Amino acid sequence: MRLKHILVIVLALLATNPVAAQRKVLNMPEHDSKAYYFGITFGYNSSSYRIKYSQSFIDQDSFKTIQPSSGPGFNLGLMGNLRLSNFVDLRFVPSLAFAEKRVGLNVRDAAGNDSISNRTVESIYMHMPLQLKFKSDRIKNFRFYAITGVKFDYDMAANARSRRRDEFIKVSAADFGYELGVGFEFYNPNFIFSPEIKLSQGLGNQLFKDPNIPLSNAIDVLSTRMIVISIHLEG
């Protein structure tokens, strides 16, 4: 009997526990009816080049291998979100992206000796994506979404016009492409916490042809790819 009484008291306490009750509270209930809202975003990126080799690379043996690999970076920016319908938003996320792309070279000289080196291309992108955001139904304080869109990038560190003699490759400043991603929204009392992962694929040829740079003769097309893991804080 005493055990029964204790169980009844414990269940009554749990039923009236503020923490348990708070879990059922719908945070920011008016948010879904907002025509627009803003936020900030920051995140980590991993970027690399995709290379299409030229006929010169195949015909000559100056370069044994040209191997691109990814490097780390970070993004920081703002967000503007316009509600189009209950399940679709239009989103503009201008940001600065500090990126690093790596290229491993295996070069054979005239004497037949091989030398291996790893070179780095650093970029500072003015990243301007315009995205459609497709939202699921809100489940209490949680929602899933997917994004797709187009982007324009301008590399403020591009060296296409550089006159330095030690450049190993030259890249153009402007690029365009598409983006795909998924994310989650967690509604808190005063803000929305949104982790997101996306692929940002460049479609333009970033290679600036310079006949004085042997590597640019071995490459036909140089495109960019970036994977971004972001945190959005939305109001």
User: Average of pLDDT values for 15-39?
Assistant: 76
pLDDT tens digit string along 16-25? 544 444 456 9
- For residues 98 and 146, give the distance between their C-alpha atoms in angstroms, rounded to a whole number: 24
Range in 4-18, 33-47, 132-146, 159-173 the model is least confident about: 4-18
Alpha helices (H) along the chain: 2-15, 18-22, 55-59, 214-218
- For residues 42 and 75, give the distance between their C-alpha atoms in angstroms, rounded to a whole number: 5
- For residues 38 and 235, give the distance between their C-alpha atoms in angstroms, rounded to a whole number: 6
DSSP state of 165: T
CATH of domain 28-234: 2.40.160.20
Candidates 87, 148, 105, 98; CA nearest to 123 is: 98
What is the pLDDT at residue 110?
66
Domain boundaries, the chain: 28-234
User: Average of pLDDT values for 31-44?
Assistant: 95
- What would the two tokens of residue 210 be? 């310079």
- For residues 50 and 66, give the distance between their C-alpha atoms in angstroms, rounded to a whole number: 11
pLDDT tens digit string along 153-178? 999 999 988 878 778 899 999 999 99
For residue 86, pLDDT beyond 80: yes
- The three-point CA angle 212-218-222 to 5° equals 100
**Run of H or E residues at 178:** strand 174-187
Beta bridge partners of 224: 49
- What would the two tokens of residue 74 be? 């970070």
- Which residue, chain included where needed, has tokens 């209930």? 29
- Which residue, chain included where needed, has tokens 């940001």? 95
Q: What is the mean pLDDT of the chain?
A: 88
What is the pLDDT at residue 79?
97
Can you give the pTM of this predicted structure? 0.83
